[in-house]
Chains A and B, each alone.
Chain A
Amino acid sequence: MWNIIGILFVSACIFIIEALLLLKHKLWKDFIVFIIFLFLGTGLSIARCINFPIPNPIELLTWIYQPLSESVNKIFQ
């Protein structure tokens, strides 16, 4: 419970620090990109707190390279 509040608090701080600057300089695209990543960051952190599964690129890479790695290991063993 407290972790999530902590994360939201940190997100809010980051928002305050950055977003107001961006809006002041009227950098709309930057603002949108910033919001997207802030959302992602906050979302992922909260997902971790509640043990919600997160997409893991390592799984993808392992799936892609596993057969090749096994062949390489066989060559050298």
Chain B
Amino acid sequence: MLDNGKITANQYKMLVLLFTIGSSILVAPTALVNDAKQDAWIATIFTVIISILLVLMYIKIYSIFPNMTLVEICELLLGKWIGKFAVALFLMYAFILSGELLREIGDFTTTQMMPDTPIDAIHIVFMGVVVMATLLGLEVIGRSSEIISLWLFILLAIYFIAILPQIKIGNLQPILGEGMKPILFGFYHFISLPYLELIVFLMIAPFVNHQKGAEKGFLVGVIIGGILLTFVVMFSILVLGVENTARQIYPSYALARKIEIGKFFQRVEVIMAGIWFLSIFYKLTISFYAFVLGLSQLFKIKDYRSITLPISMMLIVYAIAFHPNIVHFFEFVHNIWPLYSLTIGFLFPLILLGTALMKKRQRHVRGNR
């Protein structure tokens, strides 16, 4: 164990919740509405239900090895060489995920708020806070999430209540007018971002001080996060309408722009942007932490803190290098990421689980002789 910190089950639940809403709360409605039109909310509910099964799989792996991170489990189950190779593949996933998240917040800020600021400046400042959080350790991340999530919920509540007067129920019609195929297409995109990305939490899980609490917290966090995302998608359709949501790059921001209560509570979209800054921050911190921790376990060094700063330099470079422009970013996230996530977030843990259960049975059989 390279981190002596422990987090409580409640903090774990908060982190899962924040990770789930992550960047999806800002951009998810677009892809979903493009796929499933006005039935996008049905796609989200369907995905949330399936995600429970997915998370149960993750929990099962955790329950077999409650004190080992995913990297350690992998090396144990798959042997030295295949294990290290698989770990490298997983770590590349975590690295790319972190880079995408950093790029997302940079693009959002330069598109909507500060177009003249070079995107690197935003990346460096944001990464600065992420690195600080990582260096301070999981305990700090966990404790801060409890405080921050309170503010986040207050802002979200204000967001939803303020936009409520402007909904048009007719926008949801015709319900199931497009059939099941578009809903399944929406599900395919939605499960890859954020749900399959939750595999990185198997790096964090062993540090929770209460095993049953961690298992329960994982599930509850994912479900509540899913419900919040469903609300965002539904409100986008109800207020903006199908065509307008599908066109927006940042639909939640366009939605926040519509808030107008009386003549004074208006033009508050930047305050709502605070929600997304916070949620993306936590998703990035957790992905980054998982990557750095995993890397230090792969190389068997004593403290992950030593390599954190150099890794952050690499991440800042790659956040830009991954995609030359926002269209390339979209195409990758829309077409390639679902398949990549399926490989790392579903196939990989499935193989691990299968191997673990097989080895258990072998041991059982051997033990009975």
On A, residues with C-beta under 8 Å from B are 10-11, 14, 17-18, 21-22, 27, 29-30, 33-34, 37-38, 40-42, 44-45, 47-48, 54, 56-58, 61-62, 65-66, 68-69, 72-73, 76
Report the 3 A-B pairs with minimum CB-CB distance, sorted nearest first: A41-B313, A37-B310, A76-B185
- Interface of chain A, helix or strand or loop or mixed? helix
Q: Looking at the assembled complex, report how far the CB atom of A9 sits from the nearest CB atom of chain B, in whole angstroms.
A: 12
The answer to whether residues A44 and B309 also contact, given A56-B322, A76-B181 and a CB cut-off of 8 A, is no
Structural contact, A61 and B340, CB atoms closer than 8 A: yes
Distance (whole angstroms) from the CB of B90 to the closest CB of chain A = 13
Best-buried of A30, A44, A47, A54 by chain B (most CB within 10 Å): A30
* CB atoms of A65 and B336 under 8 A apart: yes
User: Is B300 located at the chain interface by the 8 A CB criterion?
Assistant: yes
Residues from chain A with a CB closer than 8 A to the CB of B296 are 33
Q: For window 210-234 of chain B, which residues contact chain A by CB distance below 8 Å?
A: none
Main secondary structure of the interface of B (DSSP, over half): helix
Residue of chain A at shortest CB distance from B331:
A62
List 19 extra interface pairs beyond A34-B306, A44-B317, A58-B323, CB under 8 A: A11-B313, A14-B313, A27-B301, A27-B302, A33-B299, A37-B311, A41-B309, A41-B312, A41-B314, A44-B321, A45-B316, A54-B321, A56-B322, A62-B336, A65-B335, A65-B339, A73-B335, A76-B35, A76-B188
Which residue of chain A is the closest to B316 with respect to CB atoms? A45
Q: Is the CB of B309 within 8 A of A76?
A: no
Question: How far, in whole Å, are A69 and B302 apart by their CA atoms in the complex?
Answer: 41
Asked if B175 is at the interface (CB within 8 A of a chain A CB), the reply is: no
Q: Of B35, B181, B321, which contacts A56 at CB under 8 A? A: B321
- Asked if B302 contacts A30 (CB within 8 A), the reply is yes
Q: Do residues B309 and A54 form an inter-chain contact, with CB atoms below 8 A?
A: no
* Smallest CB separation, A60 vs chain B (Å): 9
In the assembly, what is the distance between CA of A21 and CA of B313, in Å?
20
